Structure 1
Amino acid sequence: MNIYVIEDDNQQRKQIIHYLNECKHIFFDLKISTLSNHLTFMEEIPKLTINDNDVFFLDIDLMTTYTGIDLALEIRKYNAKCSIIFLTSLEDQAISVLNNNIFPLGYLIKNFKNPSETKQIIIEMIKKSQLTSKNFWRFKQDKVEFSSGSETLFFNARDICYIQSLKGFNGRVLVKTLTEETIIEAKIGKIKKQLQQEYMMTSLQSYIINLENIISIDRKNEQILFDGQQLLSIGAKSIDKVKKALRVYSDD
């Protein structure tokens, strides 16, 4: 996830980057681009490889020949799915943006008097960005079927957050999806053999993790947040393994 911050006020840009750096322990793949010159960024856009999960913080009122809206329109020529967040001092600038069909993720009002509030807004925006990107990814179904006793159950593998073997219930696993949970009469080892998708992490003993559905990781509280606001409490050692798997998967 590449983050671009284009803001003509250097102090405000530094503040936003400071808040973003404080989020790095939550978003493992957050990378802040060194491209920041608002005077030349328009010329840089055609040279960029813009990914669907990239995020652009664009000041609307740039002190140059073009505005943040002009930059957003240029970005949209190369990627319709990346997230654009406008930086503005005025809350009534949204109409011109909507009329240009830019469809920004949101607006960050440049009032940094409450750092904790601003940081939380940025965290929520990045989570929303990841969620939006993953919703596009799920348009393509990836159906799998699991046998549970005499039943056959069907799932979209992309909707699965994690699968967990149930302690004290030999031969039963919990399948947690974006919207529901299902207990299956099966051993997790058998389920692992059925799930060959590259986004499914099957190396943990008692869990199968859908790497694509992870929104954030909180190592301090030993929790993984998935899309759909699904939380998994897991040990710190396992979290480290998940983070390593995420890095390898992202690099591929």
Structure 2
Amino acid sequence: MKIATLVVDDEPIARHAVVRLLREDPDIVLGGEYGDGASAAQAIREQSPDLVFLDIQMPAMTGMDVVATIGAARMPATVFVTAYEQYAVRAFEANAVDYLVKPFSRDRFAETLRRAKARLGPGGVSGAAAGSIQQVLDALRRREGYLDRVPVRIDERVTFVDVDDIVWIKANRNIVEIHLAERVHEVRETMTSLAERLDPRHFARVHRSAIINVRRVQSIHPWFNGHHVVTMDTGQKLRMSRYQQEAFMRLVSTRS
């Protein structure tokens, strides 16, 4: 069984160590090595590898951002690589996701690769289940705090949107539409998952399919049957569910 594999790490020494060990295994077909998250996300989309060794702590676009860009359900079998963060290690262990702590020994690497092969082989689970990967990422995000930027795909590249520039967010099945003043970006993530990563002091869910940036609200007007209409500073009007009004009004009053 040949296993198409990518290696992603911004530290050349660590990346080359993984590559060197992989090249000793005749089952591994190395598809490339990458030093940044944006290049890695593009390579995963284009090559659809079987396995990826993915560094968590990278500048600009982290390993978590790569997964968010691809979508946990679409990720290949993944071995997360981390420096020493024990919180991260506990999250990996709790969800049975393969990981390596840098610096790692040859024996530890061999054991990790053996487990990855077992997942990919006949009767195994193809990669860590998407739910397990998502649970790990959720745990790490809670540790990190709220988002400052959201990675979005534009043509063949990944860029970042400052959360302050978001006017509102619309749910569309397993995709969210991020509405800015002059354009809309689609991100493969559920509304619930994204909402958990946004600062609740600045973002409010006014409807089951809409989240707004409270700082971009221009006015609120009563509608009918207990509903209200929220007008954003772009002129966009959004209906607010009556079940969300109390929480939203509380947010607005704290900003007065």
TM-score range, shorter chain: 0.3 to 0.5
Q: TM-score, normalised by structure 2?
A: 0.40
* Higher relative contact order (Cα pairs below 8 Å, separated by 6+ residues): 1
TM-score normalized by the length of structure 1: 0.41
